[in-house]
């Protein structure tokens, strides 16, 4: 298993740890989606965190090398996970424990509350730097969540540290490792007090436009290398 799930005081904690770099392969993405479905039984907030020093290295580059069909299946599994998170009926909190390359960054941008652990990490969307064109669904998600300066830097493959990640909109908070647990616990206590129906309906209204835009982009998605 690449993930674990634990119920702590009414919140479901999902930890990503494949023993390597948490590459977002088709199997990893599918497993996270299943964990989120399991978490619904707890009826409370969900926490999604990575392994120390690495939230995720992004999509599995080995899959891209296998050809258009496996690449498309993997990316669309990622799109499906983004859509699931944006429509999830309970708050999702992410803890970026290290580096977060594109699909890892997308998970941050799909969450309701985003924490980052301070450190020498790089966070962002580096597709252009590795010969990939940023897909339209990612642009729609970035437009929805990033600040204007953050969105403007997508085309230049900017990878930033956790402090700048707050300024650009990838994170809400950047804290020292020893401060994260208390801060997340405090946020979870606040989230548990929200009215569930009001939260779900408001989240649906806030995310309605981007969910539709992502669905439209996914319908015509094909893997495309930069020229």
Strand partners, 51: 54
Choosing among 1.10.530.10, 1.10.760.10, 3.90.226.10, 3.60.20.10, the CATH entry for 3-190 is 3.90.226.10
Structure tokens at 111: 């969450």
Q: Are 114 and 171 in contact (CB under 8 A)?
A: yes
Residue 201 has pLDDT above 70, yes or no: yes
pLDDT in tens, 31-80: 999 999 999 988 999 999 999 999 999 999 999 889 999 999 999 999 99
Domain residue ranges in the chain? 3-190
What percentage of the chain carries pLDDT values higher than 90? 93
Mean of all residue pLDDT scores within the chain: 96
Q: How far apart are CA 55 and CA 67, in angstroms?
A: 26
Give the model's confidence band at 226: pLDDT under 50 very low, under 70 low, under 90 confident, else very high: very low
pLDDT of residue 223: 79
Residue 199 pLDDT: 98
Q: Give yes or no for residue 17 having a pLDDT over 90.
A: yes
Least confident of 49-63, 153-167, 212-226: 212-226
Q: Which helix (H) or strand (E) is 174 found in, with range?
A: strand 173-175
- Report the predicted TM-score, pTM, of the whole model to 2 decimal places: 0.96
The pLDDT tens digits for 96-122 are: 999 999 999 999 999 999 999 999 999
Outline where 113-195 has alpha helix (H). 136-145, 148-152, 162-168, 177-192
Is the alpha carbon torsion for 187, 190, 196, 199 positive or negative?
A: negative
Return phi, psi of residue 171, to 5°. -120, 160
- Which stretch of 61-65, 98-102, 190-194, 195-199 has the lowest confidence by average pLDDT? 61-65
Q: Which is it for the CA torsion 159, 161, 166, 170, positive or negative?
A: positive
Beta bridge partners of 132: 225
Is residue 171 within 8 Å of 116, Cβ to Cβ?
A: yes
Per-residue pLDDT, 21:
97
The confidence score (pLDDT) of residue 41 equals 85
* H-helix segments, 65-112: 68-86, 102-110
Q: What is the CA radius of gyration of the chain?
A: 16
Q: Is the pLDDT of residue 132 over 90?
A: no
Q: How large is the average pLDDT for residues 128-146? A: 95
178 three-state secondary structure:
helix
The Cα angle at residue 21 between residues 129 and 12, in degrees rounded to 5? 120
CA distance 144 to 164: 18
Q: Is the pLDDT assigned to residue 221 strictly greater than 70?
A: yes
Q: How confident is the model at residue 224 (pLDDT cuts 50, 70, 90)?
A: low
CB distance 192 to 93 below 8 Å: no
Q: Say whether pLDDT at 10 is over 50.
A: yes
Sheet with 98-100, edge to edge strand ranges = 53-56, 98-100, 123-124, 159-160
Residue 186 phi, psi dihedral angles, 5° rounding: -60, -40
- According to the model, what pLDDT value does residue 227 have? 41
């Amino acid at each position: 298993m690449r993930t674990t799930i634990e119920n702590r005081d009414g919140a479901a904690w999902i930890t990503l740890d494949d023993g390597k770099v948490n590459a977002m392969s088709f199997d990893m993405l599918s497993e996270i989606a299943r964990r989120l479905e399991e978490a619904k039984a707890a009826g409370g907030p969900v926490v999604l965190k990575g392994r120390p020093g690495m939230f995720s290295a992004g999509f599995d580059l080995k899959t891209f090398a296998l050809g258009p069909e496996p690449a498309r299946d993997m990316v669309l599994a990622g799109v499906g996970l983004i859509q699931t998170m944006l429509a999830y009926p309970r708050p999702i909190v992410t803890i970026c424990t290290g580096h977060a390359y594109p699909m890892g960054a997308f998970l941050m941008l799909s969450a309701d509350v985003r924490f980052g652990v301070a450190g020498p990490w790089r966070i962002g969307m580096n597709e252009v730097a590795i010969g990939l064109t940023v897909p339209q669904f990612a642009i729609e998600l970035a437009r929805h969540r990033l600040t204007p300066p953050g969105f403007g830097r997508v085309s230049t493959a900017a990878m930033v540290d956790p402090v700048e990640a707050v300024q650009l909109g990838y994170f809400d908070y950047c804290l020292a490792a020893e401060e994260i647990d208390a801060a997340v616990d405090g946020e979870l206590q606040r989230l548990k007090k929200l009215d569930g129906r009001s939260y779900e309906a408001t989240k649906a209204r806030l995310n309605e436009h981007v969910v539709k835009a992502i669905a439209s982009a996914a319908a015509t998605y094909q893997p495309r290398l930069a020229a």
